[in-house]
Structure 1
Amino acid sequence: MFVGHAALAFAIVAGVAVARDWTAERALAVGLLAGAFAALPDVDIAYALVGVAAAAGGDALTLASAFWSTGNLVHRAVTHSLALAPAVALIAALARRNRRAGAVAAALAGLLVAVAWTASGPLGVVVTVPFVAGAVLLGSLAGRYTDLTPSQVFGVGVVGLASHPFGDLFTGDPPAMLYPLDATLVSERVTLAADPTLHLLGAFGVELATIWAAVAVAGLATGLRPRTAVGPRAGLGAGYAASVLLIPAPTLDLSYPFVFSVLGVGLVGALPRVRVVGTPAGPTVEPPDWLAALLTGLSAITVAWLAYTVAYVVV
């Protein structure tokens, strides 16, 4: 769901901007900022690299297991808290505005670090520091490159940060949404199907839906029609149905063969066309259309997911 988090926040915030008749540039800018805030909570997974380093030399499955087992020691806690999201968004909104605002932001940041230390010890601090630093960076970039007011940056930050945990309800353990309080908002993962493979495929479909929603909103903002940019190579994804006989049935515990192979189909679809055109000065390579390549790749992944799902149900 890494990409889906950003795509969902982009679609929500940029969609509101489009509805308010903001210019395309402003709508896309605020949507990208929301997407960046929505991706920020997963900075806590960086700690998983410690486990990967310890398992260096093992096979892919061993490395993946080490990645998640180590990352889950601190994952989906302080950075995924709905209770702390407004404070982090406020830090971003106040970042580098003026000396008084900076002092308030620094005090809030110190308070968050103290909370993390009290609730989770040193590991909580290890995660909280880059989380807060990332918020400061996003707030600084918003202040420098956009005309958003501090209150607008705060609102965008809250939407991005608060939307993230809900996307995680389909995979793994539910986030500690009320951290550091000793209370549980959601205790169980949302189950899309009793069959673990269909659940995984359903979660993958939810992520694809959020990405396509972001594409649709970007099209509304710019006037572009994404459908016209999709090339015929997107149909190559249909052949992925045969992989139902070649790879293990994917589940949340063993999703890597499916995820990496289906993304490989997308890469094949996304290869840009290289055209050589004749000119009076001789042949010239025409610059590739990267937008068409990306949308064709995304379409190939979508077709591959649908084909695999149908094949799994039938077989």
Structure 2
Amino acid sequence: MFVGHALLAFAVAALAAERRGWDGRRTLTLGAVAGAFATIPDVDVAYALVGLLEWRVADGALGASTAFWDASRVVHRSVTHSLVVGAIAAPAFGLVAVRGAGRATLARGVAGGLLLSLVGIAFAVDGPLAAFVTGLFVASGILVAATARRTSLSPTTVGLAALWGLWSHPWGDLVTGSPPEWLYPFASPVLSSRVVLHADPTLHLLGAFAIELAVIWFALATCCRLTGRSPVALVDRRAAVGGAYGIAALAATPPTLAVSYHFVFSILGVGLLCGAIRTPPSPTLPRSLGRDRRSPVPVSVPSVDSLLDVSLTGLAAVTIALVAYALVYLTAVAPA
């Protein structure tokens, strides 16, 4: 779901900007900033790296991933996923984006006070580990805001993009794991358990994966809309190869949220192969890096159409593979 958080925030922010009549470049810039802010809450998984310190080679690759995710549950989806924390951090990140010597100094001083208060609250409520994770969250947000300051976006717009990115993030976690602590440091009385899409754990996973694919389709369709391209026209027929993936439902253990690596990596591999392997040469744009303009050195750079072709064809292949897998699973594997 890491990718989905960013792409959902990007697509909605970009379409909102387009609706307000913004030009294509500013629209895409706003979407990119919102998407970057939407990834920040998951910086708390950095603590999970300590889980790898307890992993032994004898445990195998699956043991490494298990150790990682077990450690991540200590602080994951807590302080960084809070709507309350986001409501305080977003305007502070907007203040970081203020330009001008005099105004910027005052604004950044206020922003620093707000953000340091979040670290202090996390320390008071849950101790040094929560404060450390909050510090990573704050540092990441400052980095994104400082980068956004170099764009044409106003500080207010950056703050709104931060608020949308931070507030949109937690909802994507409702079907994939334990719900976030919505109102940290206060108790969260609603949505305290995972949303179950189906009683069959495999069908639940397939449904969650389908939601992720839908978000990616939404984001790529938004890119096509803003750049004047047709997503349907850019999908190559080689995506149909993904239908062969249905046989995997008969050959491998049905995946669940607890053990899904074999399914996720293999189905994404199908999309990667279908998207990357091309028979005709990719369209390229000449580019010169030489100083002598009379004899430029041509450099092959993938065009926007080529990148969208690869992305959309790969995504279509994964979507077809998911449908094929689900059909075979429902007809031949799922318990009656």
Q: Structure 1 residues 187 and 293 mapped into 2: Cα distance closer, same or farther (>3 Å)?
A: same
Q: Deviations over 1:72-103 (max 9, x none)?
A: 10100011000110211122111152000010
Identify the residue that residue 280 of structure 1 maps to in structure 2: none
For 2:281 and 2:139, locate their aligned partners in 1 and report how far apart those are by CA, in whole Å. Answer: 46
In the alignment, structure 1 residue 232 sits paired with structure 2 residue 237: yes
Deviation at 1:218, TM superposition (A): 1.4
For 1:163 and 1:311, locate their aligned partners in 2 and report how far apart those are by CA, in whole Å. Answer: 34
Q: Is the 8 A contact 1:274 1:287 kept in 2?
A: no
Count of aligned pairs: 308
Q: For 1:189, what is the secondary structure of its paired residue?
A: coil
For 1:89 and 1:54, locate their aligned partners in 2 and report how far apart those are by CA, in whole Å. Answer: 36
Percent of pairs with identical residues: 46
For 1:127 and 1:314, locate their aligned partners in 2 and report how far apart those are by CA, in whole Å. Answer: 46
Identify the residue that residue 127 of structure 2 maps to in structure 1: 121
| Gapped regions of structure 2 (runs ≥ 5) | 99-103, 283-297
Deviation at 1:21, TM superposition (A): 2.0
For 1:169 and 1:96, locate their aligned partners in 2 and report how far apart those are by CA, in whole Å. Answer: 32
Q: Is the 8 A contact 2:250 2:329 kept in 1?
A: no
For 1:132 and 1:287, locate their aligned partners in 2 and report how far apart those are by CA, in whole Å. Answer: 36
Deviation at 1:286, TM superposition (A): 6.7
Q: For 1:158, what is the secondary structure of its paired residue?
A: helix
Q: Deviations over 1:26-80 (max 9, x none)?
A: 1111111111111111111111111023204131221111111101101000110
Identify the residue that residue 42 of structure 1 maps to in structure 2: 42
The alignment's TM-score, normalised by the length of structure 1, stands at: 0.93
Identify the residue that residue 218 of structure 2 maps to in structure 1: 213
Deviation at 1:285, TM superposition (A): 10
| Gapped regions of structure 1 (runs ≥ 5) | 278-283
Identify the residue that residue 164 of structure 2 maps to in structure 1: 159
For 1:40 and 1:272, locate their aligned partners in 2 and report how far apart those are by CA, in whole Å. Answer: 33
Q: Structure 1 residues 102 and 232 mapped into 2: Cα distance closer, same or farther (>3 Å)?
A: same
In the alignment, structure 1 residue 66 sits paired with structure 2 residue 67: yes
Identify the residue that residue 132 of structure 1 maps to in structure 2: 138
Q: Is the 8 A contact 2:97 2:155 kept in 1?
A: no
For 1:179 and 1:168, locate their aligned partners in 2 and report how far apart those are by CA, in whole Å. Answer: 16
Q: Deviations over 1:265-287 (max 9, x none)?
A: 1110121537569xxxxxx9976
Deviation at 1:126, TM superposition (A): 1.7
Q: Is the 8 A contact 2:97 2:158 kept in 1?
A: no
Identify the residue that residue 289 of structure 2 maps to in structure 1: none
Q: For 1:188, what is the secondary structure of its paired residue?
A: coil
Q: How does 1:1-315 map to 2 (within 5 A)?
A: 1-57=1-57, 58-95=59-96, 97=98, 98-144=104-150, 146-273=151-278, 275=280, 288=302, 289-315=306-332
For 1:53 and 1:177, locate their aligned partners in 2 and report how far apart those are by CA, in whole Å. Answer: 30
Q: Is the 8 A contact 2:206 2:322 kept in 1?
A: yes
Q: Is the 8 A contact 1:90 1:154 kept in 2?
A: yes
Q: Structure 1 residues 140 and 94 mapped into 2: Cα distance closer, same or farther (>3 Å)?
A: same
The alignment's TM-score, normalised by the length of structure 2, stands at: 0.88
Q: Is the 8 A contact 1:4 1:210 kept in 2?
A: yes
For 2:189 and 2:274, locate their aligned partners in 1 and report how far apart those are by CA, in whole Å. Answer: 43
Q: Structure 1 residues 64 and 27 mapped into 2: Cα distance closer, same or farther (>3 Å)?
A: same
Ranges of 4+ aligned residues in structure 1 off by more than 6 Å = none
For 2:279 and 2:204, locate their aligned partners in 1 and report how far apart those are by CA, in whole Å. Answer: 39
Q: Structure 1 residues 245 and 161 mapped into 2: Cα distance closer, same or farther (>3 Å)?
A: same
For 1:274 and 1:133, locate their aligned partners in 2 and report how far apart those are by CA, in whole Å. Answer: 45
Q: For 2:233, what is the secondary structure of its paired residue?
A: helix
Q: For 2:149, what is the secondary structure of its paired residue?
A: helix
What letter matches 2:266 in structure 1? S
